[in-house]
Amino acid sequence: MFESLFVAAHHAFTTFAHSEVLEACALCLSPRKTRQACRAGSLSFQHVGLRTTRSGTTYGRYYTVNNPEFDLDALLKSRCDEDDEQDEDDLVGAESTSRPPSPAAQPAKRHRRASLSSNQPTSTPQFTKKSRLSPGVPNPSPDHPSSPASLPKDSRPGPHSTAPAMHKASKKRNSRRSRRTQAQNRVPEMDWTPRRSGVLRNARHIAEAQFERVDLDWDDQEVTSTGFTAKRSGGEEKLYALDDLIGTKAKVPGMKLIDWDGSETIGLCAQDGRTFGVLAGHPDDPNWDSVHESLASEIAARGARTSFPKASREHRRGRFGAEAHGVSHGGGQTAPGVLKHTKGMAATLAYLVGLTAMIRIAHFSSSVFYNWAPKLWTYYAEHMHGLFENDPTLKRNFPYSVWACITINFGPRTVTFKHRDFGNLPFGWCAITALGKYDANRGGHLVLWECGLVIRFPPGSTIIIPSGIIHHSNTKIARRETRYSVTQYTSGALFRWVEHGCMLDEEYYNSLSPSEYDEAVEKNARRWKEGARLWSTVSELQDVASERVDVLG
């Protein structure tokens, strides 16, 4: 049915196209093809006179499209693919800001893009003390509202567009001046380098760590054409008990139970030796139980006094209250921005994120990330450094965490459906920390479906996985038990924004020469496989850990 509609639409629009539809079709054209068609003279919009005045002047609302390369079928499919790329994974309960892109000069953007694409990440971050980020996060100015979607280059301004254009240019100058002032006046904050104590502690854990090997085919992963996000997948609104997966009554065969104690460090690696996740444990603190229990109590108390909208209570991950806090991009945003909330929810999230226990969990998780995947961690740090340097109004959640966003799952019984966080970077890592009061022997396990693993997940412990490509869920807990969780992650759209010189896709691709465009397409096709190579192998981890213990110990 859809195929026949496409054919009919193709015939109609290549004969007579309404001017507004024509503009939309022009938007669908790839930038390179548009330029080539214009240069060759094969693309032109000829006005068709459908009516005639007394003086003989003809006029009408339609144009002909004299372009033999115009293929509506292909353009519609291409545009749908682009829309799938642009949409960020749904951030439950949060409304993302929508601000104009940074008006930095084009040469500077091109320079940043070139430096990011040409330098391969190393295991040691190369940031100096000058590369620090702003702790401030002023609200978006009312003088800078959301900008409308950009029109195609062929669109002609109306007869009264001079004044708005001048006003827009003036606003851009004021915006640039404001950003420069904020960048100059901001207070120096922590740089991206991990703390020495965390590096040494985790090096010792790695040197003594065990590894769980699973059979995974990295070439057979559902990622988008650019490699910045995973492909969307349908969810499964079903909860599994431990007995459904493990034991004689199991309904799902082939699953393996990992009876993890929540503190011992265990690496998850594939058959090729690459480590794609880690059962991280918790900080070495004899009083850690009281620390994470106090955080769970705070989340419970705040959640009980909060009214969650339906979208925050009933979503594809489960049936529990959840809210995100931090920086996001996608879903129609013109630039990355700080997630917006109601006044009450914003105060609740700011309070919880500022708690010492929450900060300790965030810093611990990022430190584990650095030690277990130093090349990937540096890839994150380089891109987040570029993101925050470009826009000083953005704010990091934590001084020593490399992730851009955090979600607090308020429960009170946080048990997730089988799902993938497809909006995240496919080869990126997501940290999950379990909290609450439940019997970890009977419920609350983390299920990694592609890995065939059911992992005991005690309260207060942290597990780090590539949540964008691996389906995961939790096992049921008892009716009177409580379970909360905290996740840290970064959306793939933020990496795309920085890779594209802090520009939207249309502006970025329009800035490329034909050869640069071809190179960008090839790089998109390689991104997933090259990104997965940033994961460390078991031998690399053990060698580096031994060296660090010898040097730092």
CA angle (331 as vertex; 327, 336 as ends), nearest 5: 30
Residue 553 has pLDDT above 90, yes or no: no
Q: Which of 33-42, 108-117, 428-437 has the highest mean pLDDT?
A: 428-437
Residue 345 has pLDDT above 60, yes or no: yes
Contact in structure between 46 and 66 (CB atoms under 8 Å): yes
Largest Cα–Cα distance in the chain?
A: 94
The predicted structure's pLDDT at residue 433 = 98
Q: Which of 8-22, 121-135, 243-257, 327-341 has the highest mean pLDDT?
A: 243-257
CA distances (Å), origin 201, targets 205, 208, 266, 398 = 7, 11, 15, 20
Please indicate whether residue 95 or residue 272 has the higher confidence score (pLDDT).
272
439-451 burial, b at 16+ Cβ within 10 Å, e below that, comes to ebebbbbbbbbbb
User: Domain coordinates of the chain in residue numbers?
Assistant: 2-86, 87-121+226-553
Please indicate whether residue 171 or residue 473 has the higher confidence score (pLDDT).
473
Residue-wise pLDDT for 113-123, tens only, equals: 444 444 444 44
Please indicate whether residue 528 or residue 81 has the higher confidence score (pLDDT).
528
pLDDT band at 102 (very low <50, low <70, confident <90, very high): very low
The predicted structure's pLDDT at residue 30 = 44
Q: What is the mean pLDDT of residues 36-55?
A: 50
Contact in structure between 59 and 50 (CB atoms under 8 Å): yes
Residue 510 has pLDDT above 90, yes or no: yes
The predicted structure's pLDDT at residue 385 = 94
372, amino acid identity: W
pLDDT band at 221 (very low <50, low <70, confident <90, very high): confident
Residue-wise pLDDT for 256-306, tens only, equals: 999 999 999 999 999 999 999 999 999 999 999 999 999 999 999 998 888
The predicted structure's pLDDT at residue 406 = 96
